[in-house]
Amino acid sequence: LAKTTQPISMDSYEGQEVNITCSHNNIATNDYITWYQQFPSQGPRFIIQGYKTKVTNEVASLFIPADRKSSTLSLPRVSLSDTAVYYCLVGDRLGYGGSQGNLIFGKGTKLSVKP
C-alpha cells in the first residue's frame, strides 16, 4: 500500500502562491493522485487529480514528476478562505470482491492563511 507523507502545517499570507508537497515513494503503476480540501466539521472536497506531469483547473495546479514518487499541489494567490486541511490521496481503481481497498489518505497539511 502506498503511504503518503505531507508537512503537518504551513503558513502563508493572502495573495501568495502556496505549494504543498506529498511524498508517496511506494506509488503503484495504476495509482492516481488526488487532493482534497477539508474545512472544520465538513467532509473533504475534491480539488484536483492527476496521474503524471501537470494538471491545472480553475482553482489549483498539480505537478507530478516523472518518477511519480511525489506530487505538489499549487494554490495561486491564496485568500483567507483557503485556510483548511489539504489531503493527498493515492489509490487506484477498486476491484470487485476479494481485493483490499487501497485508498490511503495522508494525515493532511493544515494551511493557515493570514491577512
Q: Which residues does 50 contact at the CB level (< 8 Å), separation at least 6?
A: 32, 33, 62, 64, 71
According to DSSP, the β-strands at 9-13 and 109-114 are parallel
All three cell numbers of 69, joined, read 514518487
Task: State the Cα–Cα distance between residues 92 and 53, nearest whole angstrom.
Answer: 17
Any contact of residue 29 with other proteins (CB under 8 A)?
A: no
Least separation in angstroms between residue 36's CB and other proteins is 8
Any contact of residue 94 with other proteins (CB under 8 A)?
A: yes
Interface residue with other proteins, options 18, 35, 44, 70 (CB under 8 A): 44
Question: Which of these, 7, 19, 15, lies nearest to 78 by C-alpha position?
Answer: 15
Least separation in angstroms between residue 26's CB and other proteins is 14
Any contact of residue 49 with other proteins (CB under 8 A)?
A: yes
Any contact of residue 97 with other proteins (CB under 8 A)?
A: yes
Provide the binding-site residues for other proteins, judged by CB under 8 A: 1, 31-32, 34, 36, 41-46, 49, 87, 89-108
